Structure 1
Amino acid sequence: MKITCCIHSLSGGGAERVMAGLANDLFCRGHDVSLVTYFADDARSLSIEPGVLRACLNLDVTGQTENRTSPRSGIDRIRQIRSRITTLAKVIERQSPDVVLSFCDRMNLDVLLALRGRGLPVMVCERSDPASQGLGLVWNWMRSRLYRQATTVVALTPTAKDYLRRFSNHVIVIPSAIKTPTSYSNREIACANRTIVAAGRLESEKGFDRLIAAFARATQGHPDWKLVLYGDGSLRRQLQRQATELGINDRFEMPGWVRPLQPHLAEATIFCLSSHYEGFPSVLLESMSLGVPSISVDCESGPREIIDHGRNAWLVENETPALAAGIRYLIDHAETRESLGHHGREIIERFGWDKMVDRYETALARISSSTADAPSGANRTERPPGV
């Protein structure tokens, strides 16, 4: 197949890691793969196989080029959105794909707008909880209309599928997955570190403010424990200020984004997921696969599909006091904690990477073949060497 993959960027969290890995593996399985992003690659970007054609449009989410000022009026914003959609349509058409795969809500809508009436099969994938991830009044309305045009909509969990079925009759579930690690957490070293680790964008939905509050409460009698947050975002200063106000500044670190993340997760005594909502948290899968004892709030979508409470990880109510109590329990009960880490490694059997790629490949092949004889694909031209 000739597959065009679309995502906003290759820098950031779980969705970007899955898309990069998926594009690489589909290419290695013999498919002709291109990958379109709005943002150009930078030092934080994930690596892509040399044979995957890259198209970086250098646009932000409002459609403006990197060097332009922000739009001053609604008319300017509409013009910029139209410009973005037009550019995206031209790039995808020049690549002449058999099928298009798009990740993340706003990118999905742009792709569907760009390809309206063009006869190309499109698979769009929600990478968060669509019931909680609001796009604003206009874009929420657009999602309810445009998703009906997608050939297939992919949800991460059955709960998300139930929500998306109001927009589409063609919703399937493909959970995220994790590759088998090449090594595991050295628990003797990790336990001695007395470190709780979390990772993700420093934005409100990740709940890092309540993690900081829970950590401060849980470690009142354990001043030798520290908290490390990997990631970056708009709340960095606010979170740093909160840690200072709670008196834990000397036990709190925010190193930013690191690549690869796995070695840093492996050094954690405990991994913690504090999100208000999730899609299917890859970082939780990754920490469990390494044998790191993990605790998560029972937020909407994701963690409850992954965690068997008390066996492979610890699941607590979706509130700060419960998270603090859970952290304190795992600090005080090392034997239970390490048993969770041991059984957490079994997560690979349920959510192995190759199984996920198989499911995407099968679904893409099915929708591609269903439109193989359509007029829009009858006289496709060879795509250019680059964009």
Structure 2
Amino acid sequence: MTKNHADLALFLATSGHSGVDRVMRNLVPEFARYGLRIDLLKVGGHGPYWEELPDNARTVDLGVSHVSTALPALVRYLRRNRPKVLLSDKDKVNRTALMARALARVDTRVAVRIGTTVSKNLERRGWWARHSQLASIRLLYRYADSILTPSEGAAGDLAKIAGLPMAAVTVVPSPVLTDRFAAMAEETVDHPWFAPGEPPVILGVGELCARKDFATLLKAFAELRRGGRPCRLIIGGEGRQRSKLLQLARDLGISEDIDLPGFLANPYAYMRRAKVFGLTSICEGMPVVLIEAMACGTPVVSTDCPSGPREVLRDGRYGSLIPVGDSSALAGKIAEMLDNPTSSEALSEATVPYTITNSAWRYLDALDLLKGDV
């Protein structure tokens, strides 16, 4: 490998505001501190979007606008640049990366990551989509040099689906707590509901999609308001279900007490000031926002979905777990948390594994990039 070739290439195609975006925006600067040469392979119209890159990282535009058409461009990149490791994230991108390496016939190692519980994601798809994706995972993932997931639950699920031993999947904690995290959490929030004397704010953050099930959070909030408890609800994020959620809020009679402000450039400042954070996902791989909220000192209530929340909350030690889709249970636990919040000391203790330093080291160890030959 010549000195101009990348040690690590990242092949990603995200929404620009997903958990993968946050994970990779946190990891890249930390990877760069190790002196690695990094190529960020760009698919047009997709994230991650970078405000600033380290000197030893560069963007390589593949000249395509969709993962489905990226295969030839990725093959050309691999043949010309021959990075030491290619890391991809999310299933369609992973399959493209593995096929590209096979067609390029290069010695680049391919590491694939999946941040969700695959079997739960597939439950909501049609028969053909579900079975074709299962077949491709079973066919292709065995050729990956590394398979990464953010939780034990997601790892076990993926190993079973891929027909691989559990040892073939490496659990790597998500890089949540960066050097700037505390300072960002203390930044001011330009929202009138956080003014002194205002009712407590319940917060949710994430993509407005079916998997996040914010409808359950709205129903739980409506139940709290019917019970006479003064409070407000903010859900930060963008997504296809925005109009549906706003209509549900109108149907529930809570429109005056909820706000969907869209994508939050700094969600930590909102988390720091909220009284309870609610996670209502149907499935996760490892819920980054749950860890972020806890690190901000905000008590949390979460669905006991596969997978991640139970691991983060240590079986309920650090926050309440409720059944998926159970709005009444959620309302009850939010009320309990408002009255008797988890201590900030306990929340801080729970988030220790998710520092950027620990996570980046674990990633590079899994990618075999900690040796002196990079």
TM over 0.5: yes
CA RMSD, aligned part only?
A: 2.7
Say which SS state the counterpart of residue 308 (structure 1) adopts: coil
Number of the residue aligned with 1:45? 49
Deviations, residues 135-172 of structure 1 (Å, cap 9, x unaligned): 63322211111101101101222222222224245211
Q: Which amino acid aligns with 2:51?
A: S
| Segment of structure 1 superposing worse, 160-169 or 222-231 | 160-169
Q: Quickly say closer, same or farther: Cα 1:283–1:171, change in 2 above 3 A.
A: same
Which piece of structure 1 moves more, 304-313 or 122-131? 304-313
Post-superposition shift, 1:49?
1.7
Question: What is aligned with 1:113?
Answer: 99
Q: 1:129 aligns with which of 117, 142, 153?
A: 117
Structure 1 equivalent of residue 75 of structure 2? 89
Instruction: Compute the displacement of 1:191 (Å).
Output: 8.7
Q: What letter matches 1:145 in structure 2? A: L
- CA distance in 1 between counterparts of 2:61 and 2:248 reads 37
Who is 1:24 aligned against?
A: 29
Gaps of at least 5 residues in structure 1 are 64-80, 373-387
Deviation per CA, 1:310-334: give whole Å up to 9, x if none: 6422222222221122122223x2x
1:274 counterpart (280, 283, 286):
280
Alpha-carbon offset, residue 90 of structure 1? 1.7
The match for 1:102 is 88
Count how many residue pairs are aligned between Structure 1 and Structure 2: 346
Q: Are the equivalent residues in 1 in contact too, given 2:91–2:114 (CA < 8 A)?
A: yes
Task: Supply the distance in 2 between the matched residues of 1:102 and 1:262 (Cα, whole angstroms).
Answer: 27
In the alignment, structure 1 residue 171 sits paired with structure 2 residue 164: no
Q: Given the alignment of the two structures, is residue 226 of structure 1 paired with residue 214 of structure 2, yes or no?
A: no
Q: 1:367 Cα deviation (Å)?
A: 10
What does residue range 250-265 of structure 1 map to in structure 2 within 5 Å?
250-265=256-271
Please say if residues 117 and 158 of structure 2, whose CA atoms lie closer than 8 Å, have aligned partners that are also in contact: no
Residues 58, 261 of structure 1: CA spacing in aligned structure 2 closer, same or farther, 3 A cutoff?
A: farther
Structure 1 41/126 Cα, relative in aligned 2: closer, same or farther at 3 Å? closer
Q: Which residue of 2 aligns with 1:213?
A: 219
User: For 1:74-133, what per-residue CA distance to the aligned partner results, in whole angstroms no more than 9, with x for missing partners?
Assistant: xxxxxxx3x421112223433320111111121111111111143321110111112212
CA–CA distance in structure 1, aligned partners of residues 32 and 108 of structure 2: 20
TM-score by structure 1 length?
0.82
2:294 equivalent to 1:288: yes
Partner residue of 1:307?
A: 313
Identity %: 25
Secondary structure at the aligned position of 1:277 is classed as coil
Give 1:174 shift. 0.9
SS in structure 2 of the partner of residue 30 of structure 1:
coil
Counterpart CA distance in 2 for 1:279 and 1:136 is 18
In the alignment, structure 1 residue 6 sits paired with structure 2 residue 11: yes
Q: Residue deviations 1:207-257, cap 9 Å, x none? A: 101111111112223463111111111100000000011000011111111
* Counterpart position of 2:304: 298
Amino acid across the alignment from 1:136: R
- When the two structures are superposed, what TM-score results if normalisation uses the length of structure 2? 0.84
Q: CA deviation at 1:178?
A: 2.0
Opposite residue 279 of structure 1, the aligned amino acid is G
Paired with 2:142 and 2:197, the residues of 1 have a C-alpha distance of 50
Question: In the alignment, is the contact (CA less than 8 A) between 1:191 and 1:269 conserved in 2?
Answer: no
Aligned twin of 1:357? 360
Alpha-carbon distance in structure 1 between the residues aligned to 2:11 and 2:263: 22
Shift of 1:2: 0.9
8 Å CA contact retained: 1:185, 1:290:
no
Give yes or no for contact 1:23–1:35 (8 Å, CA) kept in 2. Answer: no
Q: Distance in 2 between matches of 1:222 and 1:342?
A: 31
